[in-house]
Amino acid sequence: MPCQTPIIVALDFPSREAALDLAARLDPAQCRVKVGKELFTRCGPGVVEALQARGFEVFLDLKFHDIPNTTAMAVKAAAELGVWMVNVHCSGGLRMMSACRETLDKLGGRKPLLIGVTVLTSMEREDLAGIGLDIEPQQQVLRLAGLAEQAGLDGLVCSAQEAVALKTAHPSLQLVTPGIRPAGSAQDDQRRILTPRQALEAGSDYLVIGRPIGQAADPAQALAAVVAELA
């Protein structure tokens, strides 16, 4: 059965066993899963294939950021792995994002959603100032969203705090929002956060949730609580 919820569970683990152990407690009809830098660097494409074989749609969250040709070839490799969603950093620029779009469009078969990372949800205004950007995160997100739309991307990674502004300015872009924290859970290193319900009401299309589910004593129950909150 295809996934019935907007939830993407981040499998941020150091081993295939740990990732597949969590996946075994989850239902592919209730969530998709995300393979990020830690798990992929340790386990490689095999863990993606193992998750797909268990019925999960996989978001390969490697946030590619390189020159246009290198990034486009990385996105092509992800598509050939059969992932459902792949992402690149919007700050790689218009030519880089366009090269990815054109490369994916030349491929036959089912293509992954191509998503642009705007401003990491762990960053706030002071962090942007530290890298020479003296503006509010939302301004930078909107600037990068314009480039992403021009390049033909399918959507953005952003904070749900920016969802209302983005859905107004760029209604065609799908919004993938990490920094989701159920009420009462630890903020950790995230800065621009909302609860699952707040995020959905603001216009998020997909909610990325890692530690609040993966580190819970009962991950299946933690996922069920989020599903109930969204119903």
Active-site positions read: 63
12 vs 149, beta carbon nearer ligand LLZGTKA7? 12
Tell me whether residue 190 is annotated as binding: yes
In the complex, minimum distance from the CB of residue 27 to ligand LLZGTKA7, in angstroms, rounded to a whole number: 19
Tell me whether residue 195 is annotated as binding: no
In the complex, minimum distance from the CB of residue 156 to ligand LLZGTKA7, in angstroms, rounded to a whole number: 10
What CA–CA distances, in Å, run from 223 to 32, 98, 111, 184? 11, 36, 28, 15
CA atoms within 13 A on the CB side of 189: 6
107 vs 129, beta carbon nearer ligand LLZGTKA7? 129
Tell me whether residue 59 is annotated as binding: no
Cβ atoms < 10 Å from Cβ of 153: 25
In the complex, minimum distance from the CB of residue 121 to ligand LLZGTKA7, in angstroms, rounded to a whole number: 4
Rounded Cα distance, 23 and 18, in Å = 9
**At a CB cut-off of 8 Å and minimum separation 6, what does 72 contact?**
96, 99, 100, 102, 103
Residues in the chain, how many?
231
Tell me whether residue 210 is annotated as binding: yes
User: Which segments are annotated as binding site?
Assistant: 12, 34, 61-70, 121, 181, 190, 210-211
User: Which segments are annotated as binding site for substrate?
Assistant: 12, 34, 61-70, 121, 181, 190, 210-211
